[in-house]
Structure 1
Amino acid sequence: MIIETKQSMTRKNYKVEMKTDIVIVGGGLAGTCAAITAARAGSKVVLVQDRPVLGGNSSSEVRLWILGATSHMGNNNRWAREGGVVDEILVENLFRNREGNAVIFDTILLEKVSNEANITLLLNTAVHELSKKDESTIESVKAFCSQTSTDYCLKAPAFIDSSGDGVVGFLAGAPFRMGAESKEEFGELFAPDEAYGKMLGHTIYFYTKDTGKPVKYLAPSYALKDIRQIPRYKNINSNMNGCNFWWFEYGGREEDTIKTTEEIKWELWKVVYGAWDYIKNSGKFPDAENMTLEWVGMIPGKRESRRFEGEYMLKQQDIIEQKQFDDAVAYGGWAIDLHPGDGVYSKLPGCSQWHSKGIYQIPFRALTSTSIKNLLFAGRIISATHVAFGSTRVMATSAHVAQASALAAKMCADKSIAVKEVLKKANMNHLQQKLSINGQSIPHLPIDYAELSVEKPTVRTSSTYELKKLPFDGDFVSLVEGITQLLPLEGGKKYGFRILVKSENESLLKIQLRKSLKTGNYTPDEILEEMELSVAKGKQYLSFTFDAVLESDQYAFLTILPNKHVNVMSSEQRLSGTLSLFQKMNKAVSNHGAQMPPEGIGVESFEFWTPKRRPDGKNLAFEVSEPIQLFSNDNISNGYVRPYLKTNAWAASLSDKNPEVKLSWKKPQKIDEIRLFFDTDYDHPMESVLMGHPEDVIPFCVRNYSILDQDNNELFIKKDNYQTINTIKLEQPLKCTELKFRFEHPSSSVPATVFEILCLNNSN
Structure 2
Amino acid sequence: MRKTNETYDVVVCGGGLAGFCAAVSAARHGAKTCLVQDRPVFGGNSSSEIRVTPHGAAAFHAYARESGIVSELLIEERARNHEEIFENGWTNSVWDMTMYDMAMNTPNLVFHLNTSIFDVIKDERRHIQAIVGRVGGAETEITIAGKVFIDCTGDGIVADLAGCEWRMGSEGRSEFNEYHAPELASKDTMGNSIHFRARDMGRPVPFRAPDWAVKHEDASYFYEDGREPKELRGGYWWLEIGVPWDTIHDAEDIRHELTRHTLGVWDWIKNKDPKLRDKAANFALDWIGQVPGKRESRRIMGQYLMTEHDPAGLTVFPDEIAFGGWFLDLHTPGGLLAAHSEPASAENYTQTSEYAVKSYCGPYGIPLRILIAKDTDNLMMAGRNVSVTHAALGTVRVMSTTALMGQAAGIAAWEAIERNIAVAKVPEQEQAVFAVQQKLLRDGCFLPNYRNEDPADLARSARVMASSEARCYGLGPFSTGAHEGLSVWRDQNHRTKDDRLHTARSQWIAVGVSSSADGNAAGGAEIRSLSVCLSSHAPDAQTLRARIVPVDHIWDYQTDAYPALAETELLVPPGDNQWIDWKVELTEQNGLAAGRYVRLELSANPEVEWHKAGAIEPGHVAAMDIGMGRMRRYDNGVTLSFKVDPPQACYGASNTVSGVTRPHAYTNVWRSDPREPLDQWLELEWDEPQRIGQVELTFPGHLLREYHAYSPFYRDAQCPKSYSIQIWEEGRWRTLHQEPDNYQRHRRHRLAEQTATTRLRIAVHATNGDPSAAIYEVRCYE
TM-score (norm 1): 0.87
Selected match of 1:23 from 11, 27, 36: 11
Are the equivalent residues in 1 in contact too, given 2:547–2:568 (CA < 8 A)?
Answer: no
Cα-to-partner distance string for 1:195-248 (whole Å, 9 max, x where unaligned): 9862111111111123344444332343113454983367554843443x1112
SS at 1:409's partner residue? helix
SS at 2:384's partner residue? helix
CA separation in 2, counterparts of 1:469 and 1:698?
A: 22
1:82-97 alignment, distance < 5 Å = 82-97=66-81
1:435-450 alignment, distance < 5 Å = 435-450=440-455
Selected match of 2:774 from 735, 743, 753: 753
The reply to whether residue 270 of structure 1 matches residue 270 of structure 2 is no
- How far did residue 96 of structure 1 move? 2.4
Selected match of 2:240 from 236, 239, 249: 249
The reply to whether residue 485 of structure 1 matches residue 507 of structure 2 is yes
What's 2:438 paired with?
A: 433
The reply to whether residue 743 of structure 1 matches residue 764 of structure 2 is yes
The aligned length equals 718
What's 1:608 paired with?
A: 632
CA separation in 1, counterparts of 2:48 and 2:448?
A: 33
Are the equivalent residues in 2 in contact too, given 1:250–1:264 (CA < 8 A)?
Answer: yes
Stretch moving more, 391-400 or 219-228: 219-228
Are the equivalent residues in 2 in contact too, given 1:704–1:720 (CA < 8 A)?
Answer: yes
What's 2:485 paired with?
A: none
SS at 1:396's partner residue? helix
Contiguous gaps of at least 5 residues in structure 2: 345-355, 480-492, 513-523
The reply to whether residue 700 of structure 1 matches residue 725 of structure 2 is no
Q: What amino acid is aligned across from residue 594 of structure 1 in structure 2?
A: I
Stretch moving more, 634-643 or 126-135: 126-135
CA separation in 2, counterparts of 1:738 and 1:463?
A: 17
Shift in CA distance, 545/705, structure 1 to aligned 2, threshold 3 Å: same
What's 1:463 paired with?
A: 468
Cα-to-partner distance string for 1:515-563 (whole Å, 9 max, x where unaligned): 5766563425137254332233446542203367656453223234555
Q: What amino acid is aligned across from residue 424 of structure 2 in structure 1?
A: K
The reply to whether residue 639 of structure 1 matches residue 659 of structure 2 is yes
- How far did residue 469 of structure 1 move? 4.4
The reply to whether residue 730 of structure 1 matches residue 714 of structure 2 is no
SS at 1:420's partner residue? helix
Cα-to-partner distance string for 1:665-692 (whole Å, 9 max, x where unaligned): 23332322211111114121113xxx76
1:512-661 alignment, distance < 5 Å = 512-515=546-549, 521-523=555-557, 525-526=559-560, 528=564, 529-538=566-575, 540-546=578-584, 552=593, 553-561=595-603, 563=605, 566=608, 571-572=613-614, 574-579=616-621, 581=622, 583=624, 594=626, 606-612=630-636, 617=638, 619-622=640-643, 624-657=644-677, 658-661=679-682
Identity of aligned residues (%): 30
Shift in CA distance, 283/575, structure 1 to aligned 2, threshold 3 Å: closer
What's 1:38 paired with?
A: 26
Q: What amino acid is aligned across from residue 446 of structure 2 in structure 1?
A: S
Q: What amino acid is aligned across from residue 17 of structure 1 in structure 2?
A: N
CA separation in 1, counterparts of 2:162 and 2:283?
A: 49
CA separation in 2, counterparts of 1:18 and 1:364?
A: 28
CA separation in 1, counterparts of 2:315 and 2:446?
A: 16
SS at 1:703's partner residue? strand
Shift in CA distance, 523/515, structure 1 to aligned 2, threshold 3 Å: farther
Shift in CA distance, 551/419, structure 1 to aligned 2, threshold 3 Å: farther
CA separation in 1, counterparts of 2:454 and 2:202?
A: 61
Q: What amino acid is aligned across from residue 648 of structure 1 in structure 2?
A: N
- How far did residue 279 of structure 1 move? 2.4
What's 1:204 paired with?
A: 194
1:98-247 alignment, distance < 5 Å = 99-100=84-85, 101-103=90-92, 104-193=94-183, 198-228=188-218, 231-232=221-222, 235-237=227-229, 239-243=231-235, 245-247=236-238
Contiguous gaps of at least 5 residues in structure 1: 1-12, 584-592, 596-603
Are the equivalent residues in 2 in contact too, given 1:70–1:81 (CA < 8 A)?
Answer: yes
CA separation in 2, counterparts of 1:573 and 1:221?
A: 53
The reply to whether residue 304 of structure 1 matches residue 325 of structure 2 is no
What's 2:250 paired with?
A: 260
Are the equivalent residues in 2 in contact too, given 1:489–1:628 (CA < 8 A)?
Answer: yes
- How far did residue 650 of structure 1 move? 1.3
- How far did residue 22 of structure 1 move? 1.1
SS at 1:704's partner residue? strand
- How far did residue 739 of structure 1 move? 1.1
Q: What amino acid is aligned across from residue 559 of structure 1 in structure 2?
A: E
Selected match of 1:496 from 523, 529, 542: 529
Selected match of 2:727 from 709, 726, 729: 709
Q: What amino acid is aligned across from residue 225 of structure 1 in structure 2?
A: K
CA separation in 2, counterparts of 1:350 and 1:196?
A: 17
Stretch moving more, 379-388 or 534-543: 534-543
Shift in CA distance, 654/421, structure 1 to aligned 2, threshold 3 Å: same
Are the equivalent residues in 2 in contact too, given 1:210–1:292 (CA < 8 A)?
Answer: yes
Cα-to-partner distance string for 1:487-535 (whole Å, 9 max, x where unaligned): 1226975541134545454422425235576656342513725433223
What's 1:601 paired with?
A: none
- How far did residue 50 of structure 1 move? 0.5
Cα-to-partner distance string for 1:602-644 (whole Å, 9 max, x where unaligned): xx5533342436xxx465142x223322112221112111111
The reply to whether residue 336 of structure 1 matches residue 328 of structure 2 is yes
The reply to whether residue 324 of structure 1 matches residue 316 of structure 2 is yes
1:407-418 alignment, distance < 5 Å = 407-418=411-422
CA separation in 2, counterparts of 1:283 and 1:386?
A: 35
CA separation in 2, counterparts of 1:238 and 1:339?
A: 18
CA separation in 2, counterparts of 1:570 and 1:699?
A: 21
CA separation in 2, counterparts of 1:94 and 1:509?
A: 46
CA separation in 1, counterparts of 2:243 and 2:253?
A: 13
Q: What amino acid is aligned across from residue 556 of structure 1 in structure 2?
A: V
Are the equivalent residues in 2 in contact too, given 1:208–1:292 (CA < 8 A)?
Answer: yes
Are the equivalent residues in 1 in contact too, given 2:698–2:775 (CA < 8 A)?
Answer: yes
Q: What amino acid is aligned across from residue 50 of structure 1 in structure 2?
A: D
SS at 1:271's partner residue? helix
CA separation in 1, counterparts of 2:52 and 2:11?
A: 26
Are the equivalent residues in 1 in contact too, given 2:16–2:152 (CA < 8 A)?
Answer: yes
CA separation in 2, counterparts of 1:343 and 1:408?
A: 37
Are the equivalent residues in 2 in contact too, given 1:576–1:700 (CA < 8 A)?
Answer: no
What's 1:55 paired with?
A: 43
Stretch moving more, 22-31 or 693-702: 693-702
Shift in CA distance, 716/575, structure 1 to aligned 2, threshold 3 Å: farther
Give me the CA root mean square deviation.
2.8
Stretch moving more, 628-637 or 523-532: 523-532
- How far did residue 453 of structure 1 move? 6.8
- How far did residue 316 of structure 1 move? 1.3
Are the equivalent residues in 2 in contact too, given 1:450–1:456 (CA < 8 A)?
Answer: no
TM-score (norm 2): 0.86
Are the equivalent residues in 2 in contact too, given 1:481–1:582 (CA < 8 A)?
Answer: no
CA separation in 2, counterparts of 1:329 and 1:132?
A: 28
Selected match of 2:683 from 657, 662, 683: 662
What's 2:488 paired with?
A: none
Q: What amino acid is aligned across from residue 335 of structure 1 in structure 2?
A: F
SS at 1:139's partner residue? strand
CA separation in 2, counterparts of 1:650 and 1:694?
A: 28
Q: What amino acid is aligned across from residue 577 of structure 1 in structure 2?
A: G
- How far did residue 349 of structure 1 move? 5.2
